[in-house]
Amino acid sequence: RGKEQARGHAVIFTLNEDRQMRDSLLLERELREADLDAELHLLFQPQMNVMDGRVRSFEALARWQSPLLGGVAPDRFIRAAERAGLIQSVTRILFRKGLDALESWPRDVDVSFNLSAQDIADRAFIFSLVAQVLRRGIDPARIEFEITETAVMKDIGVSRLLLEDLSALGFRIALDDFGSGYSSFEYIDELPLDKIKIDKGFVRKVATSAASREIVAAVITLCRNLDLECVLEGVETEAEMAILAPLSPRIIQGYLYGRPMPSDAVVALLAGQSGSPEAARV
């Protein structure tokens, strides 16, 4: 009976794998046939400074509205785009749309873009993004690139050189999803970082795990001592915030303070930040 059951599991497992495979092939095919320029867009999620309750930065998050598949989340289509060899086209289109949005915002507000491993592996591609910024006369200090440990891990030496060049040009670098993967303090030491984003998986666990709480507290302290900005990602509830508040986090990004929103809503939110001279100027 045990054997039978095991076989049953194996069959289910295979079916699921098969479905996943067909899913991802379908995604890849649809991406290849998509009018990416028309179907891809960005939403922007606020990063709130706890000290004064103000938002000075938004993370650009990709959305794909496919005529056939409907709205597809980036966790699904970014990987498909990588496999299909389309990720640089996707990144380029989103980057341009993000800069378009940024140009309609007050000048003291910044945007951050997620880069995939294949983006940062190609120096010429990254510099084509840099060129877009310079050509438009946008201050590089308003642009932040989010990279993950997994992305830099492929070749830490090459990644470090690229990030140092971006940093020297004035762009900002954030280490995303810290604590979710092969977190190594080596990256914090080796890379020219401006910001660390603590993965939402950790924030999710602080309510139930004393160890998670201590780790989050330690990373916040580490960032403060190294003069790095620190973002807590994925704060959803007042209850979570109540537990996190004593750890003195500086920046919060989560549903509690704002969902990803279209650029129009960003402009409205900033106009509503009372007494902001920059907001008043727009």
Q: Which residues bind Mg ion (CB under 5 A)?
A: 114, 146, 176-177, 233
**Which of the 8 DSSP states describes residue 254?**
S
**Of these, 48, 55, 62, 162, which contacts ligand C2E (CB under 6 A)?**
62
Q: Closer to ligand C2E by CB, 106 or 260: give it.
A: 260
Q: Is the dihedral of CA 106, 107, 109, 110 positive or negative?
A: positive
Tokens for 62, please give them: 């990709």
Distance from C-alpha of 76 to C-alpha of 173, rounded to nearest angstrom: 24
Cβ distance 148 to 119 under 8 Å? no
Binder of ligand C2E out of 47, 116, 263, 276 (CB under 6 A): 116
Q: What residues from 86 to 115 belong to the interface with ligand C2E (CB under 6 A)? A: 94, 114-115
Count, residues near ligand C2E per rule CB under 6 A:
23
Using the rule CB under 6 A, give the single segment among 15-23, 31-39, 206-214, 234-242 that binds ligand C2E. Answer: 234-242
Q: Which residues pair with 71 in a beta bridge?
A: 65
Q: Which lies closer to ligand C2E via its Cβ, residue 119 or residue 276?
A: 119
Choice from 48, 72, 78, 174 touching ligand C2E (CB under 6 A): 78
In the complex, least distance from residue 177 CB atom to ligand C2E, rounded to whole angstroms: 5
Q: Shortest CA distance to 76 belongs to which of 31, 134, 107, 16?
A: 31
74, 140, 192, 262: which one binds ligand C2E (CB under 6 A):
74
Among residues 27, 34, 61, 84, the one that binds ligand C2E under rule CB under 6 A: 61
Q: Which two tokens mark 119?
A: 């983006």
**Which of the choices ligand C2E, Mg ion, none does residue 260 contact, using the CB cut-off of 5 to 8 A by kind?**
ligand C2E
Stretch that binds ligand C2E, among 8-16, 19-27, 73-81, 152-160 (CB under 6 A): 73-81
* Residue numbers 183-212 binding ligand C2E by CB under 6 A: 200
* Long-range CB pairs of 60-63, under 8 A, 24+ apart, other chains included: 60/94, 60/98, 60/101, 60/111, 60/112, 60/113, 60/114, 61/114, 61/260, 62/90, 62/94, 62/114
Of 168, 19, 68, 66, which Cα lies nearest the Cα of 77? 66
Residue with tokens 């670098």: 173
Q: Which residues of the chain form contacts with ligand C2E (CB under 6 A)?
A: 45, 61-62, 73-75, 78, 94, 114-116, 146, 176-177, 200, 233-236, 253-255, 260
